[in-house]
Structure 1
Amino acid sequence: MTTVLTYGTFDLFHIGHLNLINRLSELGDRLVIAVSTDEFNAGKGKTSVVSYEDRARIIGSIKGVDLVIPETSWEQKATDIVEHGVDVFAIGEDWAGRFDELKSLCEVVYLPRTDGISSTEIKQMLRVLDPSHITEMQDALSVMSRLLEHYRDLT
């Protein structure tokens, strides 16, 4: 039996996440996914929209995922590999080279990302819905309106 392990935040679950999980499940017989806790993300300067509990539950309900564990630190990977009998550690290619030290414990694979989608990009798009940005847009429209009125008065 081949056990595969990966790590991620999996916030705002999207098709890129599903593609990754499908690729991961093709690498072995058993898939373990470590989901970053809210506390760990806070330590990295990240905030998740969806709580750890809900993200872990979403991931755990996906076909092909056998076990979900919490990711609480950068250092836990080697311990998790040994504890869960991991044969393949796989993660997105945006991390290429960052986990090569784990090659002494198991095979390390960097998988391609899905083009055109990421949780970070979705969060950036949603920023326009933030109340402070709506106020900024209203202020800008007000200035433009006054400029147009002034221009009309000149003609």
Structure 2
Amino acid sequence: MRTLSETVAWREQLRREGRRVVLTNGVFDLLHTGHLYYLKRARELGDVLVIALNADTSVRALKGPSRPVQDELQRAYALGALACIDGIVIFREPRLTAEIRALRPDVYCKAGDYTLEKLNPEERGALQEVGARIEFLPFLPGFSTTNLIARIKAAGEI
């Protein structure tokens, strides 16, 4: 895991080497098969995959007071153990706009529940500003953190 300024310096080195950087973002709480499928596919879109990980405060705002199940450092550690991920930066603002402008990714990737119209207009504008190609990858059906939490709760009641 790196700070944003460390990640920007690393990104500039990658640019000089001619390497394509893919950026994606998310909560990635309780990694499951759907996450792993998505992250491996995202990595195939470039030479380096950088994850912008939602900070705990933004996860609570997005998903409610009981989330995240794992704190940001635990989630970053789990993601960092995956061979398909090259870098992680935690972002604390509600939007990823500053990180997009700073990192200037070659490719920005989101899961299939997003469309160009569903992307936040500010973030979409920043992506267009830096010339990032926007890719949407399909979901692997049947996997979600919400469903996993429900299954864990049900298993605890057996």
TM-score by length of 1: 0.75
The secondary structure found in structure 2 opposite 1:94 is coil
Give the alignment of 1:34-73 within 5 angstroms.
34-46=52-64, 47-73=67-93
Quick one: which of 67, 89, 105 aligns to 2:108? 89
Rounded to whole Å, the distance in 1 between the matches of 2:105 and 2:144 is 27
Quick one: which of 37, 40, 44 aligns to 1:19? 37
Equivalent residue, structure 1, for 2:11: none
TM-score by length of 2: 0.74
Gap runs ≥5 in structure 1: 138-155
Equivalent residue, structure 1, for 2:51: 33
**Structure whose CA Rg is larger:** 1
Rounded to whole Å, the distance in 2 between the matches of 1:16 and 1:80 is 25
Matched residues, number: 131
Deviations 1:79-116, CA, capped at 9 Å, x for gaps: 21232231111010112222244334311111101111
**Aligned-pair CA distance for 1:43:** 1.7
Gap runs ≥5 in structure 2: 1-18
Distance 1:125 1:64, change over 3 A: closer
- Percent of pairs identical after alignment? 27
Greater helix proportion: 1
Say what the alpha-carbon RMSD is for the aligned residues: 1.9
